[in-house]
Amino acid sequence: MQTMTILTGAGISAESGLGTFRSREGIWARYDLAKVATPEAFARDPAMVHEFYNLRRDACIKAVPNEAHIALARLQREWPGDVVIATQNVDDLHERAGASVLHMHGALMRARCAECGHRWPAPIVTQATDLCPHCGEATTRPDVVWFREYPYFDDEISLAVRRSDLFVVIGSSGRVYPAAGYAGIATRAKIRTMEINMERTDGNFENGRYGPATETVPRWVDEVLRAQDV
Ligand code: BV8
């Protein structure tokens, strides 16, 4: 049976009210990435970094999954083959829609100990002085992958792409690696690729569907489930 790997980015959560990163009013237009999303930033000012993620965690719990998240969870449930969903997003909207996902950039709703690596469900507000429940050190950080940190699940996702019949990228500008490199892996392996976005990116996809994810994703899911073919 045909298998699919789907990679999502901030665009799939945009209509749930969570910001994207690289639009004119995006997150990186309002915050200096170097001050909130690198290990150096955390070493320099952990309180500011925690505040940045506390604000995003607060927005995340107030947001609800949209029709695109719900459609992907349905596809994962009803498709007879494997559907691997990897996300660059740190929100939990895919899970709250019922999907299982690989969070390659970590998760807002998890905290991590910078000392021993222990992970636990994050309270709404985290601070650098929070004690790690495992080792007791005051070295709490968000369990999020910052720039120049190794993403989670990179090998698993690359493998999933290589064994897929179709690789789909939904709501990503394709600017951040290694996530942006998976489309090239698929293309070189002669695997079909498609992007779903508001606009064409320079990712050289074989196919594209353009428009808001809450319209384009449910329509595509309905089509593949009806056709039982990618
Ligand atoms: C790594 C944190 C190996 C969580 C993020 C020099 C040294 C070391 C590494 C590098 C280097 N130079 C470059 C790199 C690699 C670097 C990188 O790629 N940099 C870029 C900027 C060039 N990558 C890394 O550092 C990665 N690690 O390489 O490790 C290593 C380690 C050490 C030394 C050497 C190598 C780590 C990357 C992870 C960084 N963390 N975020 C957080 O705070 O959220 S990345 C950040 O960008 C977010 O996580 C986000 O998920 C990600 C990608 O953004 P998108 O999801 O694509 O969002 P964007 O706004 O860009 O686009 C939205 C899209 O949606 C648009 O196309 C828009 O049209 C569309 N859209 C909008 N609305 C809708 C829509 N589509 C449909 N419907 C709608 N309604």
Per-residue model confidence as pLDDT tens digits over 38-68: 999 999 999 999 999 999 999 999 999 999 9
CA distance 141 to 106: 12
Q: Catalytic residue, from 50, 105, 118, 134: name it.
A: 105
Terminus-to-terminus CA distance in the chain, angstroms?
10
Counting ligand 1 atoms within 8 A of each CB, the residue from 21, 60, 91 with the most, and so the one to mutate, is 21
pTM of structure = 0.96
Query: Which residue's entry shows tokens 């070295």?
Result: 139
What sections of the chain are H helices per DSSP? 27-30, 33-36, 39-44, 46-62, 67-78, 93-96, 154-162, 182-188, 213-227
pLDDT of residue 90: 98
* Owner of token pair 């994207």: 20
- For ligand 1, the distance from its centroid to the CA atom of residue 110, given in whole angstroms, is 19
In this structure, the residues whose C-beta lies within 6 A of any atom of ligand 1 are 9-11, 14-15, 20-22, 26, 37, 88-90, 105, 144-151, 171-173, 175-177, 197-199, 201, 212-213
- Token pair of 125, please? 């507000």
For residue 17, what pLDDT is reported?
95
Task: Give per-10-residue mean pLDDT for the chain (230 aa).
Answer: 96 95 85 91 95 95 98 97 98 98 98 96 94 96 97 98 98 97 97 98 96 98 93
Give the pLDDT confidence of 137-162 residue by residue, as tens digits.
Answer: 999 999 999 999 999 999 999 999 99
What is the C-alpha to C-alpha distance for residues 97 and 67, in angstroms, rounded to an integer? 9
Please say if 105 is a catalytic residue: yes
Residue 141 Cα, ligand 1 centroid: separation in angstroms?
Answer: 19
Confidence at residue 28, expressed as pLDDT on a 0 to 100 scale: 83
**The CA-based dihedral angle spanning residues 164, 94, 30, 125, taken in that order and rounded to the nearest 10 degrees:** -130
